[in-house]
Structure 1
Amino acid sequence: MNVFSIIGPVMIGPSSSHTAGACRIGRIVYLMTHGTPLKKVTIELSGSFAHTYQGHGTDKAIMAGLMGYQTDSIEIRDALNIARDRGIDFTFVPTHIPDSHPNTARITYELENGEKGSLMGASIGGGNIRVEAVNGMRVNLTGERTTVMVLHNDVPGVIADVTSMISEKYSQLNICNFTLGRQEKGGLALMTMEFDNPCPDSLKEDIEQVDEVVNTVVFPAI
């Protein structure tokens, strides 16, 4: 545990869990999509998020994160109006997501380029977050480190091929967290890796040369 887990991040208030953490959940989507402008987004809020999101600024914080703002950005206070000015069609839906953390948001989005996706994450205290699903597939990432997400066909040998290539060509990199999620056996799977150090730009291209890899997303720590 570091000091920020105790005192929380530098942020626009009022709450590290309901504001800073919420902003970081939205910002993961921004980083995953490399800042491609949003067209439409639906944000489902569960648990205490659903009950207090307007009073605690959770709605503004998530929307600010989706647009790329940081936890200490003054724009958080006016994020909904900024989103309207940008032509983003957004909806907040209080709901109940079974077996989820009390501060959970599920974000379903469409980008201006037509790309669609979803992410579910929880604000777990002190501004820290845990992303639990991307496009319906299980992940386990914090956003605190460089993250590489590899969409691939669920066939034998892909994980070994990707990790062996990283070991051989990028021996300076250390994988500190690894998760595999899949839609169904033999379908698409999502390999998620967090690294202790920044990744070279060439890593994405090299991973996408591996057989059965469909797409790779690399994004820095939040």
Structure 2
Amino acid sequence: MNISMFDILGPIMIGPSSSHTAGAQRIGKAMYNMIADKELTSVHFMLHGSFHLTLRGHGTDRALVGGVLGMNANDPQIKNSLQIAQERGIEVSFEGADLGDVHPNTVRIIARTSDGKIVSLMGSSIGGANIEIVEINGTAAKFSGKYPAVVINHTDRLGIISHITSILAINQVNIVTVLNSRENKGKSAVTMIETDSPISAAVKRELESMSAVHSVVTMERVI
């Protein structure tokens, strides 16, 4: 197994904690990637376990908001993220919450955009600034943030995953992981794919053009 010095020392970041600050920023950045083409109007953070207990003391609140605003872990403006959000007219709120059987450093982020859409994401900071996205829009997920990803909501049909992966292959997009879940046979399903390269706007439109597909969300890498 190859181990980088950054896996041991952590990333270059605005401190004080790789788990409670840099990890929080990266979860927030994952939300930013989901809504980057939209105007954010409000964001609500539901904080589980130690994320709630250390919220302001470790700068978790500023890191989460900084990430949602698109800031990187080493951006000195993270310390001013709450003020920047206020200046942009973005309503920010926090609450402690029991999110169930999840890692102690877990947060659910609920964002509302100017077009009235509500997007949710739940992620955990699992140590050394590494994260895991465990839920997207209420659907179980398993993303590391180390790779670009695409989340496709669709009707469960024979051959649809093959069709999706064929579109990616034709467009020279190499797949890292695939996770599929469904309610029942023939009902709603979600396919989540991590890739070596980002999904372009053209490939996203091609996926959206499939008759069984309801929505496509793309995410850039956050690590």
Asked if TM exceeds 0.5, the reply is: yes
Alignment of 1:31-180 (within 5 A): 31-167=33-169, 169-170=170-171, 172-180=172-180
Q: Does the 8 Å CA contact 1:28/1:143 hold for their aligned counterparts?
A: yes
Residue 195 of structure 1 aligns with an amino acid whose one-letter code is T
1:10 Cα deviation (Å)? 1.0
1:35 Cα deviation (Å)? 4.5
Q: Does 1:221 align with 2:193?
A: no
SS class of match (1:159): helix
Q: Does the 8 Å CA contact 1:139/1:181 hold for their aligned counterparts?
A: no
Q: Does the 8 Å CA contact 1:14/1:57 hold for their aligned counterparts?
A: yes
1:164 Cα deviation (Å)? 2.5
SS class of match (1:54): coil
Q: Does the 8 Å CA contact 2:168/2:174 hold for their aligned counterparts?
A: no
Within 2, Cα distance between the matches of 1:149 and 1:32? Answer: 10
Q: What is the RMSD of the two structures over their aligned residues, measured on CA atoms?
A: 1.6
SS class of match (1:178): strand
1:89 Cα deviation (Å)? 1.3
Within 1, Cα distance between the matches of 2:37 and 2:72? Answer: 13
Q: Does the 8 Å CA contact 2:21/2:58 hold for their aligned counterparts?
A: yes
SS class of match (2:95): strand
1:154 Cα deviation (Å)? 2.5
Q: Does 1:192 align with 2:192?
A: yes
Q: Does the 8 Å CA contact 2:30/2:220 hold for their aligned counterparts?
A: no
SS class of match (1:180): strand
1:199 Cα deviation (Å)? 4.0
Within 1, Cα distance between the matches of 2:43 and 2:86? Answer: 12
1:220 Cα deviation (Å)? 2.2
Residue 205 of structure 2 aligns with an amino acid whose one-letter code is E
Q: Does the 8 Å CA contact 1:138/1:180 hold for their aligned counterparts?
A: no
SS class of match (2:22): helix
